[in-house]
Structure 1
Amino acid sequence: MKLSPDLLDTWLALGDRAAISQTLRASAAQITLPQARKIAARIQALDATMPRLKIGILRSYSSEPLDPWLGLEAALEGFFPEIYHAPYGFFHQEAQAGSRLLSFEPDLTLLLLRREDLHPGLAEPLVALPDRERQSLQDEALRRLVELIGRLRDLTTNQIVVTLLPPLHGPGLGLIDRQAERSERAWWDGFEQRLVGQLREAMSGVLFLDLGAALEQIGRNAYFDQKYWYSARFPFSAEASRDLARRLISIAAVLQRPKAKVIVLDADNTLWGGIVGEDGPQGIALGHDWPGNCYLAFQRRLLDYRSRGFVLALCSKNNAADVDVILREHPQQLLREFCFVARRVNWAPKPQNLRELASELNLGLESFVFVDDSVHECAAVRHELPQVEVVQVPGNPLAVPTCLDSVARLEILALTQEDLNKTALYAQERERRELKQRVDGDGGSLDDYLRSLDMHMRISLDDRSQVARLTQLVNKTNQFNLTTRRYDEDQMRAFMTADHSVVAHFALADSFGDSGVVGLAIFRLGTTLAELDSFLMSCRVIGRRAESAFLEALLRWLADTGIRQVVGEFLPTPKNALAETFLPDHGFVPGADGRLYLDLVDRPPLPANRFPIQVELT
């Protein structure tokens, strides 16, 4: 169904980028190229201060027709795009110092490659080649591509996105290809698996974007525009162009916008169809039949998001007892009580409840995605809490399972063990709060509470197995962060392997469970002077004196290695006031250059019992 001009004008009259974006994304209507330009222009006129997003494109086929679709998706996400298209086939010329691409300084570099660009031998059918030649061809094509990506990676720190254009006409062996010994699809599946394996192991900030998956979702005949390809060397239909643009802008949004962490969900007409307080537990729509199967599918999708590292919270205007019956007893309810890290089920205004949830979870409201079916609740949250991303659940049950698919910040570019354990970690923190309330109620002190946790800290130095997690920490930790310097995985590895630096991290466990890797310090080492480049800790463990125990252990280690003085600094940001006095509180004094110094010579170590934490440094 095409979007009517009158309806488009109505939406554009909303006068707010977020509202326009949400309305358009919730619609299944097809947008034409002129409409895409009109929408982008309207949003840009509404907000002339949108940050610029610079995209550099290296290509072996036409890419300029992507521009209006990139403009549309960028505007919907709050960016103003600037796009550089390199000349056809100038991959190696642009992967050199001083090239026009590097002078452009893109935030994101996109490689649009055809399969036959990787090696001349790929211009011929694979099926006719002997097995040894097929393997040799794959090895050489992979080597050439990885070498090209590696040169780009060495010259720039921006995100690199690699694509391979699927064949326009399907495999040469037709229907039998999937089970044939010389399957073309199996050969390319093997190639792509080897490629992503090498990228994952050796290069940070490089993503292989699987166009084949998009093609399967849309369908080959709808994905390609044969006439456009043969007349203008541009392969994509309008639908495929917008899909590719959306995926690229989603990557940029994940990198450049505040990280989403919590999906806050309404209950009625969101997790199930109907109103439990009126329809009763047996009257709601939730199960294997229409329309309850749509809400069941949505709950399965929410479990997928939980597996990506997002946590779920509940915010519903309801009687708590009615909701509890569904969460605990309904046979088709997938999301049980333990799936939610926090809940507000009451009749208070939802903006108020969201503020309370943010306080309870110790998170900023910019990390929240609020999901509700009510136009009035969505409008109230948008008005009072503009930093919260709002998604209105469609009225059509068929659209409910995929209503979050277009939320860019719910994509991820990396996955760590801590991400997989997020819900359990928040549950542990809730138990710690309950213990503290009991200790306080019995007249106990903070020291009594901390000792009752039975905490154990494991400090490791230059542990390359934790590069992904440490890079994640250094790029997302804001509150307890002395300098807020950001580094990618390659830079983190370089700190670990250099003789003149050390990367220390700690994991913290207690009687309630293991919080995982939650603290990081990077020192630049001289002969007798150590410079504290970065020192940070996850907000999850603030208030347990772990930061002090970590610093003290590292100061002792530095002194044992011959370091006589440590210098650090506090670089203020809008979010890190919590860490402002940390170094002075631990004996650091201002120097003539404005930085903070601590002499380790003859410095008596602090009593071990000052921190109720058992520390092990390996």
Structure 2
Amino acid sequence: MKISDTQFDKLLALQSAQDIKNQLALRSMVPSPQQAGKLRRHLATLGEARAVRLGIVHTYTSELLDPWLHFSAALNGLSLDIYHAPYGTTVQEATGQSGLCQHTPDVTLLLLTREDLHPALQAPAACINAADRQDIQAQATQALSGLVRQFRAAVAGHIIVTVLPAQPPPGLGLYDVMAEQSEYQWWNQIKGDITRELREQFSGVSYLDLDQLVMQCGRDNFFDARLWYSSVFPYAADGGLAVANAVTTLAASIHHTRAKVIVVDADNTLWGGVIGEDGINGIALGQEYPGRAFVDFQKRLLSLQQRGFILALCSKNNPDDLNEVLLNHPHQLLKNEHFAAQRVNWQPKPDNLRAIAEELNLGLDSFIFVDDSDYECSAVRHSLPEVDVIQVPSRATDIPSCLDALARLEIVSLTAEDLQKTAMYAQERMRRTQLEQLSDTGGSIEDYLQSLNMRMTVRLDDASAVARLAQLTQKTNQFNLTTRRYGEKDIAGMIDAADFSVYHFSLEDNFGNSGIVGLAIVERANGEQARLDTFLMSCRVIGRMAEQAFLSTIVRNLGSAGVQALVAEYIPTRKNILVEHFLPENGFAVAENGVYARRLDAGDAGEPGKDFPIIIEGPL
């Protein structure tokens, strides 16, 4: 939808890039090139953008995307330095001296067509007989895999793969979906093979499905036949903006601090109305308007939980009134078990958010706060500027999609730990309850740790855990000696390298398995000395002596391999003061230039776990 002068003036009055992005998304507004330029200049005044180098390798014209890319990048807090490979030099750009490699891109975007995967895909699918389809499908998958493998070896940053959808509708028209030789179904099978190959064989690679964007925009709004035939550029304004926004959103999700917690209000957020005034039968929540919109918003929140985000509840209400909805309303999808933390009281919401952050042991800069109230949103913005605040739209029909435009809620990988986040925090509540009960009966912290029956499994150079290990380096701030950030390619490279050892551990006890929660990267500088490049641990297991047990296991393993000294460093940040004294408290002495060193002797190769209330297995 075009933007009127009145609407455009309202956009220019907004003082947050996220607010502008939300308004554009909610109203499906597409600015003209002139409006996009003005908005971009306005966005430049709102805050410092993060510089990102983007390299584009393409088999159709790509330069016409630049205005949309720069505009979308500004909306996502980025400033792009774009390199376009020469037209028709796809494979050549994957060599060491290419312009792409010289550009050292943070993100590489591959703009491909179907026929780039296999020449037969330029013909209508209905013309390809069933006997040939399986071979073409396998060959297309392997062709793309081979191309990505070349680029993965050539560039260090993230790679985004796209394949241009077919511009005309299926050759069999409306009957296509019913046909045995359906083009739609066959292409989905090819995409399934491609994405499985990329997911299983590569790290730091995403497939951006342009078919999804066609569905969002509509085919006629996505493509521009005139530009395609005159300039080999396929996108209309809507399509170009959609592609640019998707690319820069993925780039922002990689380069900005990822959100971890979504804190939601209840009244006029999870349901319409005020439970304390309207009662359980009077709130809007169900299959009629406007209740259906609130049900759909709860569905969105559940979907975000499945991406690995933690849900928390913060509401000014009587706890009994609110709990009645969670327990008994037939259309309430979010139950008590879906929330990792709750604050239902009459305290100021900034105070409650601080309490939730303390309970979850997470930084407030990883929080997104969702509320309908002007007052509450303003209070949180003023008191906690590090928290992203999303005000629930006044129109019920806009509520289900109000979080869709947040780049911090996009993901580029999904681990087993992500899927179990809420359950893990529920386990932590049970541990706290057990500690309180033991304390009330005179038990000590040692008694508590023994009662957990902890079992640690340490693994060495485990390639199957690359995604999770990279995620830990990018998300762990508090218990992290050096806060070095590594991508999946970096971790995979160190696992394969002879002079690096990559350790990780998982921790299990009576209440459940916490998953992979610790990482150490050790570089063997020479046969007798090693360097602790990275040592970090999830805040979820702090206080259980896991960090000491993990370090002891690493020291024992290195000592048995002939290492005589381990050097390490503490690089202070605003958030990792927790580990300021970890090294001197665990046998390291200050050497020089702020570096610590620990001598490894025969005693370091003793029985694993003998000094800790933890059974240790590994390194495996």
Taking the aligned partners of 2:274 and 2:30, their CA distance within structure 1 comes to: 32
Structure 2 segments unaligned to the other structure (5+ residues): none
Contact preservation (8 Å) 1:298, 1:400: yes
Q: Which amino acid aligns with 1:120?
A: P
Q: How does 1:454-473 map to 2 (within 5 A)?
A: 454-473=453-472
List per-residue Cα deviations over 1:253-279 (Å, max 9, x = no partner): 111111111110010111001111111
In structure 1, C-alpha distance between the alignment counterparts of 2:407 and 2:570, rounded to whole Å? 33
Instruction: Indicate how the Cα distance of structure 1 residues 179 and 607 shifts in structure 2: closer, same or farther if over 3 A, else same.
Output: closer
Q: Percent identical across equivalent pairs?
A: 49
Q: 1:29-44 counterparts in 2 under 5 A?
A: 29-44=29-44
Q: Give, in angstroms, the shift of residue 111 of structure 1.
A: 1.2
| Counterpart residue number, 1:598 | 598
Q: Secondary structure at the match of 2:45?
A: helix
CA contact (8 A) 2:104 2:156 kept: no
1:576 aligns with 2:591: no
Stretches of structure 1 that go unaligned for 5 or more consecutive residues are none
Q: In the alignment, what sits opposite 1:532?
A: 532
Contact 2:161 2:207 in 1 (8 A): yes
CA distance in 1 between partners of 2:541 and 2:66 (Å): 45
The answer for the alignment partner of 2:615 in structure 1 is 614
Name the residue aligned to 1:399.
398
Question: Using the alignment, how far apart are the partners of 1:130 and 1:279 within structure 2?
Answer: 63
Separation in 2, partners of 1:137, 1:22: 42
Moved more, 492-501 or 546-555: 492-501
Q: 1:129 offset after TM fit, Å?
A: 4.0
Q: Does structure 2 conserve the Cα–Cα contact (< 8 Å) formed by 1:266 and 1:316?
A: yes
Q: Contact 1:26–1:394 at 8 Å: present in 2 too?
A: no
SS in 2 for 1:582: coil
Q: Tell which deviates more after alignment, 262-271 or 74-83.
A: 74-83
Look up the match of 1:556: 556
Partner amino acid for 2:579? A
- Tell me which residue corresponds to 1:214: 213
Per-residue deviation at 1:38? 1.4
Separation of aligned partners in 2, 1:41 and 1:319: 46
User: What's the secondary structure of 1:401's corresponding residue?
Assistant: helix
- Matched with 1:239 is 238
Deviations 1:299-330 (A, max 9, x none): 11111111111111011122222111111111
Report if aligned partners of 1:51, 1:80 keep a CA contact under 8 Å in 2.
Answer: yes
**Cα shift readout 1:534-589 (whole Å, capped 9, x = no counterpart):** 21111110111100011112222222233222222222222222222212211112
Shift of 1:26: 4.2
Aligned position for 2:439: 440
Structure 1 CA distance for aligned equivalents of residues 300 and 367 of structure 2: 18
- 1:441-489 per-residue CA deviation (whole Å, 9 max, x = no partner) reads 3333222222222211111222222222222212221211122223333
3-state DSSP of counterpart to 1:550: helix
CA distance in 1 between partners of 2:557 and 2:93 (Å): 46
Alignment of 1:98 with 2:97, yes or no, is: yes
Greater displacement, 247-256 / 444-453: 444-453
Deviations 1:218-251 (A, max 9, x none): 3222221222322332222222222212211111
CA shift at 1:19, angstroms?
Answer: 4.3
User: Which residue in the other structure is 1:547 paired with?
Assistant: 547
Structure 2 counterpart of 1:403, one-letter code? C
2:340 aligns to what SS in structure 1? strand
Q: Aligned letter for 1:277?
A: G
Q: Aligned runs of 1:163-178 on 2, under 5 Å?
A: 163-178=162-177
Q: Does the CA-based 8 Å contact 1:37-1:71 persist in structure 2?
A: no
Give the SS at the match of 2:401. coil
Residue equivalent to 1:86: 85
C-alpha distance after superposition, 1:358-413 (max 9, x if no partner):
11111111111111112222222222222111111111111111111111111111
Offset at 1:61? 2.0
The residue that corresponds to 2:7 in the other structure is 7
Q: Which segment is superposed worse, 439-448 or 412-421?
A: 439-448
Structure 2 vs 1, CA of residues 173 and 22 (structure 1 numbering), >3 Å: closer, same or farther?
A: closer
Distance, in Å, in 2 between the alignment partners of 1:466 and 1:607 is 23
Secondary structure, in 3 states, of the residue corresponding to 1:301?
A: helix
The Cα of 1:610 is off from its aligned counterpart by: 3.4
- After TM superposition, the structure 1 stretch with the greater mean CA deviation from structure 2, 52-61 or 334-343, is 52-61
Q: Alignment RMSD, CA only?
A: 2.2
Q: 2:565 matched to which residue of 1?
A: 565
Structure 2 counterpart of 1:311: 310
1:217, distance to aligned residue in structure 2 (A): 2.8
SS of equivalent to 2:110: strand
| Structure 1 residue matching 2:550: 3-state secondary structure | helix
Equivalence map 1:163-562=2 (5 Å): 163-525=162-524, 526-562=526-562
C-alpha separation in 2, matches of 1:608 and 1:114: 56
* TM-score, normalised with respect to structure 1: 0.95
What are the superposed Cα offsets for residues 493-537 of structure 1, whole Å, 9 maximum, x if unpaired? 333334433222111111221111111122223423332222111
Note the C-alpha offset of 1:186.
Answer: 3.2
More divergent stretch after superposition (531-540 vs 552-561): 552-561
Moved more, 11-20 or 339-348: 11-20
Q: In the alignment, is the contact (CA less than 8 A) between 1:44 and 1:80 conserved in 2?
A: no
Q: Please, what TM-score do these two structures have when normalized by structure 2?
A: 0.94
How far is the alpha carbon of 1:81 from its aligned partner?
A: 2.3
Amino acid at match of 2:469: L
Q: Secondary structure at the match of 1:171?
A: coil
Provide the secondary structure at the position in 2 that maps to 1:46: coil
3-state DSSP class of the match of 2:603? Answer: coil
Q: Is the 8 A contact 1:371 1:391 kept in 2?
A: yes
Distance in 2 of aligned mates of 1:193 and 1:354: 41
What letter matches 1:531 in structure 2?
Answer: R
Q: Which range moved further: 348-357 or 116-125?
A: 116-125
Return the alpha-carbon distance in structure 1 between the equivalents of residues 140 and 83 of structure 2: 27
What amino acid is aligned across from residue 615 of structure 1 in structure 2? I
| Deviation, structure 1 residue 594 | 4.4
Closer/same/farther in 2, CA of residues 466 and 15 from structure 1, 3 Å limit:
closer
